[in-house]
Chain A
Amino acid sequence: MDSIQKNLLAQVADLHEVPEGAYNIRANGAGVSRNTTANIDIVTKTDKDGIDIIIKPGTKNESVHIPVVLSQSGIQESVYNDFYIGEDADVTIVAGCGIHNCGVDTSKHAGIHTFYLEKNAKVRYVEKHYGEGDGNGENIMDPVTIVHLAENAHLEMETTQIKGIDSTIRVTKGDLAEGAFLEVREKIMTHGKQYAKTDFAIDMNGENCKCNLISRSVAKGNSKQEFFSIMNGNAACSGHSECDAIIMDSACVTASPQLTANNIDANLIHEAAIGKIAGEQLIKLMTLGLTEQEAEEQIIQGFLK
């Protein structure tokens, strides 16, 4: 691995060395290294590009890292990764994609991740997207995450895209069985002419399942963001979605939540707020000695923390 790839790895997976536990590192369209453990197996797909990650029932406190880096300009790929999480397992999965594009061609990575969580399985899934490069080539990422949560399964997903991705369409779909819990926290910052679209569709099918979607974003420059969410309450369940955006310069943010209750005991809430940084927040921080620009940076940093 060269230094560019190592830097990308540090950005997307906080990895400075080879990670502990199971991992699969993919660079420029091919797997470069892999480690499996007694409880976690990683198998290359034969029908299409991608891997199966199989986690044995009862696996506790283990982690899987599956970072992807693209450092050659112009690579375009779609990768299918399927995660099978056995009953009662409790694991952390870190995915992420870093693109370094110093050429003129478009680099594109679409990760299609499907999660099958068995009963009582618990997963923390962290995904970071990062782009850089001094060329004119565009960096595009279109992640798709599909989650199937069996009874009392628990999935917490954190996605972050702070820098350097010119265009992203992020699709998250899920279905929840009885007592299942899904929480998605997404953080997005766009600048320049970037475009980011978030598309959620969650079916809450089981009694007492819960879903919480939290999106926080900052749109700067001439960037454009769209937030769509569909939440269907098909049983006695509770769903909450929240879209909070700070808009700056000439940016544009759209939020269109859709809630459908198909059951009298479905309890669904959506909150959306889009606005510029409040003047009084800036003034408060300036009275503490910060300049207007420093105050703005602090507010954004805190908001996306």
Chain B
Amino acid sequence: MLELKNITYEVEGNKEIIKDVSVKIDDHFVAITGPNGGGKSTLAKIIAGIVTPTGGQILLDGEDITGLNITERAKRGISFAFQQPVHFKGLTVKDLITIASGKQMSVTEICQILSEVGLCAREYVNREINNSLSGGELKRIEIAMIKARGTKLSIFDEPEAGIDLWSFNSLIKVFEKMRDEIKGTILIISHQERILNIADKVIVIADGKLEKVGTKEEVLPGLLHTATACSTLVEKNER
């Protein structure tokens, strides 16, 4: 279980701020949503240790991990899929999946993970993680790394960002499947109604503050019908 206690992040000159966010995340599939620039990604980075909060505490299964660095948190079971996957000259899909899993992997095992995220495996195993791969492919590899780790907390920062609608439709299926299969908690930042619909809990972050927490039945109707609460979601929905 992940617990955030009074998490605050305020840095002069930085627009991305978090104000006193406290929330317990213990459901299986939790979605964070809210307007762009509202602090969702910052909050996810604070959990992964990439951004250090200026105040507050983070507890993972009761242990205070606020002072731990990225590596230590990763070793305690936090995984983080970037919104914009990083390119690596020279490192291949196989290399990254192997690093992610923390053990030597056979080609068959790697193929298994890749096909679970919808990549026709063999042709990808030795591909370099560079711009010869499309945005959708990089996203899938990013997700495959999280699956290879299989930790107790998996955070996904807007998996739908930057990919086309066709790729997205099949990506949704990956998450629906992951919801049924993965153990532990999935924390996913998303604007997509189809993702929110499969969430056990929805957290709304706006202006750096925790605006609402509840089941999708409690949160979604309010979101979709008040333009001020989440104009992005409404816009995306209308498109």
Q: Which residue of A lies closest to B69 (CB)?
A: A286
Kindly identify, within residues 54 to 100 of chain B, every residue whose CB is under 8 Å from any CB belonging to chain A.
Answer: 69-71, 74-75, 78-80, 82, 86-92, 95-96, 99-100
Would you call B50 an interface residue if the criterion is a C-beta within 8 Å of the partner chain's C-beta atoms?
yes
Q: Which residue of B lies closest to A292 (CB)?
A: B71
What does the 1/0 interface line of A278-305 toward B look like (CB < 8 Å)?
1011011111111110000011011111
Q: Which residue of A lies closest to B82 (CB)?
A: A284
Question: By the criterion CB–CB under 8 Å, are B88 and A286 in contact?
Answer: no
Kindly identify, within residues 136 to 164 of chain B, every residue whose CB is under 8 Å from any CB belonging to chain A.
Answer: 145, 149
Interface of B (DSSP majority class): mixed
Q: How far is the CA of A244 from the CA of B89 in the complex (A)?
A: 10
Question: By the criterion CB–CB under 8 Å, are B86 and A278 in contact?
Answer: yes
Q: How far is the CA of A289 from the CA of B149 in the complex (A)?
A: 9
Known pairs A281-B86, A281-B88; A302 contacts B74 (CB<8 A): no
Interface size class of A (residues with CB under 8 A): 20 to 34
Q: Which residue of B lies closest to A289 (CB)?
A: B74
Chain B residue numbers with a CB within 8 Å of A216 are 89-90
Known pairs A284-B82, A288-B145, A290-B99; A302 contacts B90 (CB<8 A): yes
Chain B residue numbers with a CB within 8 Å of A281 are 86-88
Q: Which residue of B lies closest to A301 (CB)?
A: B90
Of B82, B86, B99, which one neighbours A298 at CB under 8 angstroms?
B99
Would you call B48 an interface residue if the criterion is a C-beta within 8 Å of the partner chain's C-beta atoms?
yes
Question: By the criterion CB–CB under 8 Å, are A304 and B71 in contact?
Answer: no
In the complex, what's the smallest C-beta–C-beta distance from A243 to chain B, in angstroms? Answer: 13
The 9 closest A-B CB pairs, nearest first, are A302-B90, A302-B91, A286-B70, A289-B74, A303-B90, A284-B86, A287-B80, A288-B100, A286-B71
Point out residues on B near A: beta carbons under 8 Å: 48, 50, 69-71, 74-75, 78-80, 82, 86-92, 95-96, 99-100, 102, 145, 149
A-B contact pairs, 14 of them (CB 8 A): A278-B86, A287-B50, A287-B70, A288-B149, A289-B74, A289-B75, A289-B99, A289-B149, A291-B71, A299-B90, A299-B91, A301-B90, A302-B91, A303-B90
